[in-house]
Amino acid sequence: MHLESTIIERVETFVRHPIFAGSDQAMDLVLDDLESLERSDQIAQATYRKLREMILRSPHIVSGR
């Protein structure tokens, strides 16, 4: 799935980018978007879960969710 591959690549790049470190608000928006994409069947549930876990384990989330 081309769209799914593109989304995975962009989220992975976003998570690694140091400018967003500690940016809970930015990551919350990405998580909301991913959830919407999963609910509309634009990305697989497994992809959503993988990317969600990647974000939640990243240094961007500082509030200890």
Domain ranges of the chain: 2-57
pTM: 0.79
Q: Cα separation of 64 and 8, whole Å?
A: 23
Cβ-based neighbours of 4, under 8 Å, separated by 6 or more: 42, 43, 44, 47
Residue 55: how many other CB atoms lie within 10 Å: 20
Tens-level pLDDT at each residue, the chain (65 residues): 589 999 999 988 888 877 766 677 888 888 999 999 999 999 999 999 999 999 888 876 655 44
